[in-house]
Structure 1
Amino acid sequence: MIGKQILHYQVLQKLGEGGMGMVYLAEDTKLKRKVALKFISSRISSNDSEVERFRNEARITASLSHPNIAQVYAIEDSEHGSFIAMQYVDGVELGTYISEQNASIKQKEDIALKVARGIGAAHKKDIIHKDIKAGNIMVTPEGEVKVLDFGIAELSSSTKETSSGEYSGTATYMAPELVVGKDADIRSEVWAYGVVLYQLFTGELPFDGAYEQAITYSILDEEPTPVKERAENIPSYVEEIINKCLQKKPEERYQSFDEILSVFENHARSSARSDSSSKGNFTPLKIALTIIISISLIGVFIYGGMQIASSEPDTQKLAIIPFKNVSNDDASRILLDGVLETMTSKLSQIDNYKDALWVIPSSEVLSNNVQSPQEAYKLFGVNLAVTGSFQDLNDRKRLTINLIDAKNLRQLKSSVIDISGDNVVNLQTETVLKLIEMLDITTNDRIKATLAQGTTEIPAASSYYLNGVGYLYKYSQSDNLENAIILFKKAVEEDPNYALAFAALGESYWRRYEISGGVTYVDSAKLYLNRAMDINSELIPVQQTMGLLDLGTGDYDEAVAIFTSILEQEPGNEIAYGGLAEAYDNLGMYEEAEQTYKKAISLKPDYWLSYKLLGNFYLRNGDYQKAIDPLYRVVQLTPDNFDGYSNIGVAYYYQSNWEMAKQYFAQSYEIEPTESAASNLGTVNYLESNYSEAAKYYALALENNPNNYAIWGNLASVQGLLGKEEEERANYEKAIEVAENQLKVNPNDVNINAVLGSYYADIGDSVKSVFYIEKTLRLAPQVPSITFRAASAYENLGNRERAIDLMIKAVEQDYPLENILNQPELSELVSDQRFQELINNFPPSD
């Protein structure tokens, strides 16, 4: 088997053999990642019930997505048999870790907490593992913990059908009720977790014997050696958890893993309160400010798409410039915007059949306010631009389109399209076909079928839809979203099976949420997008929209599935590459995310947006030096790209090179006075103690976007330094309001949880502050900026010891020491002798 190519998996080595079959390490040649392939053994392949059990494992585990559960990617059939492709966890079983690693108490506490989170996440989906043991828990060198092998898991709603004879859990971890033949439930899992914790902290099993009958007798009739006798330094709260988990009667144990997790959280809160009270009164400190990374989405969900094509010297790099509205009336302008948007989207789809063509997403053209071929050339590096004009005559509509050499500003081709009456279906179709002809693309049946996908034959529905798209194209303008929603609803009334119109409704409500923060809009977005999927789940634009909504609401496992499926159908889909990489990033799968971004670049090495996405990925993950190369490539390819300059400034900021950071922020602001450039200039001025200038730039940023909680928090901080206490508190409260509203959509958003911990510390609410700080550290224990923010918050609460521990950890994770030493609000911590002694091993970087 080793060395063989099975479907798109290259088998590398044997990993082991489990109850279901052999397990191999393989390379997924499509996604360039390592996976574990779990084959069904020949012993059970002839048994239909065992085969179904094997498939059941895949179906159940595939429905789970959590940082502490090993992810199932696919179930496959091949000439070598059926197998599951799973996430490869490069680590050791917990039993091996216990025997070989001299782990600290804190490390053991971290493992215990992560195992509880993983099991608890499964329970929330009504899934019981039914074989929790040290051998089914993996620990990586980086401290990641994964629960795996749901080989005998079942939906808890069907456990009534399971007899003790069918339960094949490991004897030493079996609860008393299972030993006597009763059904398994969540409380049986609580018992097994207690056994794992006992083993983790003592190195011994609580119930053991030379043979199975001796083990079961011990489980039923004996009490384990008190855990304190075997581990004198075990924290009392962990001892409490173990003792309650190992109660003989199920009703006397924890009834859910939420109860266990609450013990961990209560311990964190009480520790913080105790430490804080021992310090006496402490003047609250302000914390370090947030640098904003300028990140543009890859276009409007449905309509602005782009396919990756090969990058030959004669590549047609195209931008469609907003057309002139000769009629100069609002109705024509909206219709024209809709035509422009659908032209861009439809032309992008042709990229699957025409090499050496790519199209700038219309959202990039709009957000950068590009009005001419020359601007498109300077900003995007295109060599072709499409311009045009629209005129609504009495008996017909006339559209003139021009193909322009963007570099030399020469008109290459021109065409006039006249459409009689109000037949907007023909208007958009004829426009796209004419542009394809002007680009010397030969149409065939496949291209024509692609252009026709998702359209409606009902003229009124098409007209409402196209005008709705026109409003949605400029959704940030007053009343445009409301008008778009009205028109899309009319479109689906005319054609109840118009999938694209339902998807557009979903996007409209999502945009509404982004602007206003109303959580009910998210529910509406999901409702309409689910309807679109029900009508036609094969439409790529509908899938893209659903995938991007999953990203926004934190359903990262669903996003991975959708974007992977899109790439299987359209291997050059830029939106899918970006979405897949972002989903991997949010799942903590750094290597997979990085390789996905790099794959997009390799397919199109001269497209600036792919470099920008990779650079921003590095910035988010603290790889500041690695970010500079791709971000410099952005401004080399597009010299007037203000986001590119801003993000280079961010990379220099986090390397403590504030002079270079300010230079690039100022260059970005000079090209385009954006929210991010203004905010970042505010931050650099803050670090230089120019607080009035900092407040000015933050206020300018909020004029552009009043729903940015980070800037409200930053403004509050500098107002405090200026002695404006009332304004300071009011703006922190505003920051909390905006952040908590956004957290309702994705409760596990790391950044929002982190800033809430900080903001509550700033207004003196220690209970809520500690809750959010510890939650953030659980979600992102290895991210240096998160660790730094948590340390700052604890310092603000007066817990100096915890603050120093976390601050040193942040430095160990490569957070710039200079950024800590130069924060005025951290001056007392920095001067603390304990901190000074610890940082002697961390000299300032050059």
Structure 2
Amino acid sequence: MINEKILHYSISEKLGGGGMGVVYKAEDTKLRRTVALKFLPASFSYDEEAKQRFLYEAYAASSIQHHNICNIHDIDETEDGRLFICMDYYDGKTLKQKIAEGPLKINNAIDISLQVAHGLLKTHEQKIIHRDIKPANIFVTKDGTIKILDFGLAKLSGQANITKMGSTLGTAAYMSPEQASGNDVDHRTDIWSLGIVIYEMISGKTPFQNDFEQAVLYSILNEEPEPISSLRSGVPVELERIILKALSKDPEDRYQHIDEMIVDLRNISITEQRDSLKRFNLNKKKKTKHTLYWSAAIIILLTSVFALWTFLDTTYTKVEKRKFIAVLPFKPISETDENKDFADGIHDDVIIQLSKIGELKVIARSSVLEYQESKKSLKQIASELGAGSILEGSTRRSNDLIRVNARLVDPETGENLWAETYDRPYEDIFVIQSDLAQKIAAALQIKLGTEELFSLQAEPTENMIAWDYFRKGKYFWEVSYNFEGNLKSAEMFTIACSLDSSFTLAWIFRSMAYSVVAGQSPSFEERLNYIKEAEFSLQIARQTGEDMPEYHLARGHYYYHIKNNLDSAIIETEIADQKRPNESNILYFLSILVSDKGDWKRGYNISERIYQLNPKGTGGLLLGAWSTFGLGLYDESEVWADKLINNDPESGLGYVLKTITVLLGKGEIERAQSILNEAKIFTLRDTYHFAIYQYLIYLYKKEFNKAVSVFKDWNYPVRWYFLGIAYKLMNNQTKAFDCFDSTRVIYSELLSKHPDNKKARLRLAVAYAALNDKTNALLQMAQTTEDSRRQFEIDYIYFNILIDEHDFAVKLLKKYIQDRTEPTSFMIKNDPRLDALRKRGDFKEALKMIPDE
């Protein structure tokens, strides 16, 4: 068609083409302007559906006037009946062409994303869904303006489909799960596709790739994308969160409207620009004619500065040291139960308020409680806690009137840095806490940022009864490790929410509590109810609390305990840590997550931060023991575990960690048994983990009847999985079959409601393998993630033994030995699940690969 004249258009060159048409550059001889003409392919001349879609594109695009959407001028027909659209011609490249040249700069990618999002905002306002957002349909002009092209698959909300029932249209790699499965779609399908495009701009590849379209669709429906931070360094955590949120498989978990995504993209754009400006200013060098004068002046000044150095250094050190603060328990002025509870509650509240100040490092509450009745001097307490300043106070509550006395002291000198007495109605409690925190900041020469000030001044609720129940919930949340205590916490938060439905912080903690309870629940049916409560609470909290660090922490718990999505849990918790960097509870959870991921070194580094903030608490000790175990430092791990036992013997956590270290790290099976026996005398609070490790000891000793007896009175659903393994190893095929069949039923039901639970999926695959159903076993294992297979690698090796893939099982074992830093020797040499491989030559070769421990 080049050099042809069609109507009043003179065609000069072909620009490109797609499934719905070929595009040419042309001159409009009437209006003397350059345009682009898109022709319906000749082969579609008699395809009514194609014609209808082509006409619909013209209608959809022409009805939207926006600078980020390609302008449509006209639709016409050639003499031989071929339809074409006349649109603006732009000089530049498609985004597909730009990505082919390499991943984009972060700032550039964010800018493009924002422009596409603004175009989609206008589109969605017109009730039009694009349905084919991809780099080939995004044009980047030479001046950087984005134009969204090709509305060939667009759909008007509420209009009947013009496509075939159940058909999947659009390039497979960019389809949303609902689009890939042929289900109804809404505007959130465009949000998914934009998430794919952002991922590709940053990493240079799409998250779901395969040579076959059906395999791509399967991945979209069943697999999680590889974390983008593992593909490219320097990707902002917030950008990764935006991408993951856009790529939530359930549309309800995505951005519900594109304007929400725009807000987050704009915020990160501002941050990136500010950081770039800082880097520019740091690197910029100015040379002027005054350079010599300035040099001379600097030499003179340096002499004076040097003379002042000792004084300034001492002053600076003192100022900075004072920012490490311990808040001692507030003393009730009168010893009534009401006054004791009030003093206890306000102590916790003040610590939380001060923790919102980024420059302050506040010793955790659990580390200062032991000083409630202490006769030690402030100087001695400060030395034990590593604090540079101490806040102490007293309180009284009489009906609806309260008094709060507080003073900030330099423990070295005894100097009063600040003091205040508040006599107010109880309803002013939040005003008092806010004022107290702000004045302490001023006394410590801390300038509060806008966000910090807003957070300090925010009043969580106007209902003081709701606030009292919230504090009760916080108490159970902080002291409980078991199912019953966490459930009690959730119930208190529920009452608080019922008294004030706008109490965002209560909804957030309710979600966290139910997420943990769901993970601990011994009842499958109750677990499903707890999951619903956690999801509902998170949904309510999101409406007003999306910017709060506690909200992101709650999302982290949800992803970890319910979704079994470790990467998303880490990202959400990192955001919480960024927003509140010195909060020991956030750091505690983050350390658990990164250790589960296998990043033991980072886990240990975080545990050191926790120990600094909470030297008397269990969190830093627990994580110190766990991370040193993962690093193979078994003696150090045992020292940490002993400290934990001495600090909190009743929790059982120290005994559990010491058992793990002695059993799996040092391979001392009898000593591990004696540690468990001692634990059962001192505590019954952690019966879940005691049972698991007692089972493992019996398993490694090949005392399978005793292993079975461990779960005699156990109600946790996972018991059927463990029993199935024990009976299988006993060669009791009938009972093994019954147990694995129960496992199949339980996990199939769980996965029907929560298909992204990777741990359940892997155990279901093992169950099918044990039931000799290789087809379903492979189908289930194909839907697990590499992350879950790495986390439960011995189970994955056992799975391959069960399906008679022994060669592959040994290959996995060798890779396991090469890749792991945590213990391998004792487990591999003693785990009876691997006995089927032990006579093989390649298995013996694998054993030689194990380093001396």
What TM-score comes out, normalization by structure 1 length? 0.53
Structure 1 contact 777–787 (Cα < 8 Å) conserved: no
Structure 1 contact 335–466 (Cα < 8 Å) conserved: no
* Match among 629, 641, 659 for residue 665 of structure 1: 641
State the distance in 2 between where 1:822 and 1:746 align: 36
Map of 1:220-235 to 2, 5 A cutoff? none
* Match among 385, 389, 409 for residue 384 of structure 1: 389
Structure 1 contact 337–470 (Cα < 8 Å) conserved: no
Relative distance call for 1:797 and 1:362 in structure 2 (3 A) is farther
Counterpart amino acid of 2:819?
A: Q
State the distance in 1 between where 2:775 and 2:634 align: 30
Map of 1:763-802 to 2, 5 A cutoff? 771=777, 775=781, 778-780=784-786, 784-792=790-798, 801=807
Relative distance call for 1:665 and 1:93 in structure 2 (3 A) is closer
Q: Does 1:117 align with 2:117?
A: no
Q: By how many angstroms is 1:433 displaced?
A: 0.9
Relative distance call for 1:730 and 1:380 in structure 2 (3 A) is farther
Q: Secondary structure at the match of 1:530?
A: helix
Structure 2 contact 510–537 (Cα < 8 Å) conserved: yes
State the distance in 2 between where 1:840 and 1:482 align: 45
Q: Which residue of 2 aligns with 1:677?
A: 654
Structure 2 contact 758–788 (Cα < 8 Å) conserved: no
State the distance in 2 between where 1:558 and 1:837 align: 34
Q: Does 1:399 align with 2:376?
A: no
Larger radius of gyration: 2
Q: Which residue of 1 aligns with 2:559?
A: 551
Q: Which residue of 1 aligns with 2:697?
A: 718
Q: Secondary structure at the match of 1:26?
A: coil
In structure 2, the gaps of 5 or more residues are 1-91, 117-134, 158-169, 180-188, 225-229, 233-242, 252-316, 720-742
State the distance in 2 between where 1:701 and 1:795 align: 40
Q: Which residue of 1 aligns with 2:685?
A: 704
Map of 1:173-252 to 2, 5 A cutoff? none
Q: Which residue of 1 aligns with 2:540?
A: 531
* Match among 41, 47, 53 for residue 139 of structure 2: 41
Q: Does 1:18 align with 2:96?
A: yes
Q: Which residue of 1 aligns with 2:595?
A: 619
* Match among 693, 700, 708 for residue 674 of structure 2: 693
Counterpart amino acid of 1:339?
A: I
Q: By how many angstroms is 1:737 displaced?
A: 1.8
Map of 1:561-710 to 2, 5 A cutoff? 581=571, 616=592, 619-624=595-600, 643-644=619-620, 646-654=622-630, 658-673=634-649, 674-686=651-663, 687-690=667-670, 692-696=673-677, 699=680, 703-708=684-689
Structure 1 contact 611–630 (Cα < 8 Å) conserved: yes
Q: Secondary structure at the match of 2:391?
A: strand
Q: By how many angstroms is 1:776 displaced?
A: 8.6
Counterpart amino acid of 1:430?
A: I
Map of 1:807-826 to 2, 5 A cutoff? 807-814=813-820, 817-823=824-830, 825=832
Relative distance call for 1:779 and 1:426 in structure 2 (3 A) is same
Q: Does 1:522 align with 2:531?
A: yes
Give a deviation string over 1:31-61, Cα, whole Å, max 9, x none. Answer: 99x9999582158966776499699999x96
Structure 1 contact 695–719 (Cα < 8 Å) conserved: no
State the distance in 1 between where 2:335 and 2:774 align: 55
Q: Secondary structure at the match of 2:638?
A: helix
* Match among 700, 705, 708 for residue 729 of structure 1: 708
State the distance in 1 between where 2:206 and 2:610 align: 41
Relative distance call for 1:515 and 1:53 in structure 2 (3 A) is same
State the distance in 1 between where 2:460 and 2:487 align: 23
Structure 1 contact 65–71 (Cα < 8 Å) conserved: no
Q: By how many angstroms is 1:688 displaced?
A: 0.9
Relative distance call for 1:541 and 1:333 in structure 2 (3 A) is farther
Aligned length: 585
Map of 1:177-576 to 2, 5 A cutoff? 313-314=320-321, 316-351=323-358, 356-360=359-363, 381-393=386-398, 396-405=401-410, 412-419=417-424, 423-440=425-442, 450-457=455-462, 461-475=463-477, 496-507=501-512, 509-510=514-515, 512-513=517-518, 516=521, 518-519=526-527, 520-534=529-543, 536-537=544-545, 540=548, 543-544=551-552, 547-548=555-556, 550-552=558-560
Map of 1:149-164 to 2, 5 A cutoff? none
Counterpart amino acid of 2:360?
A: L
State the distance in 2 between where 1:47 and 1:698 align: 65
State the distance in 1 between where 2:405 and 2:765 align: 56
Counterpart amino acid of 1:524?
A: E
Give a deviation string over 1:575-597, Cα, whole Å, max 9, x none. Answer: xxxx65367xxxxxxxxx8xx89
Relative distance call for 1:804 and 1:681 in structure 2 (3 A) is same
Q: By how many angstroms is 1:429 displaced?
A: 1.6
State the distance in 2 between where 1:712 and 1:333 align: 39
State the distance in 1 between where 2:590 and 2:496 align: 39
Q: By how many angstroms is 1:523 displaced?
A: 1.5
State the distance in 2 between where 1:75 and 1:94 align: 14
Q: By how many angstroms is 1:414 displaced?
A: 4.0
Structure 2 contact 409–418 (Cα < 8 Å) conserved: yes
Give a deviation string over 1:642-690, Cα, whole Å, max 9, x none. Answer: 6545545445544555444434433443344353321122234432121
State the distance in 1 between where 2:682 and 2:155 align: 55
Q: By how many angstroms is 1:559 displaced?
A: 9.8
Relative distance call for 1:88 and 1:837 in structure 2 (3 A) is farther
Relative distance call for 1:681 and 1:434 in structure 2 (3 A) is closer
- Relative contact order (alpha carbons < 8 A, sep ≥ 6): 1 or 2 greater? 1
Give a deviation string over 1:667-720, Cα, whole Å, max 9, x none. Answer: 443344353321122234432121531542664797223455xx4222122245
Structure 2 contact 642–658 (Cα < 8 Å) conserved: yes
Q: By how many angstroms is 1:389 displaced?
A: 2.9
Counterpart amino acid of 1:384?
A: S
State the distance in 2 between where 1:701 and 1:35 align: 58
State the distance in 2 between where 1:533 and 1:806 align: 42
State the distance in 1 between where 2:848 and 2:804 align: 25
CA RMSD of aligned residues (A): 6.2
Structure 2 contact 814–846 (Cα < 8 Å) conserved: yes
Q: By how many angstroms is 1:554 displaced?
A: 5.1
Counterpart amino acid of 1:463?
A: I
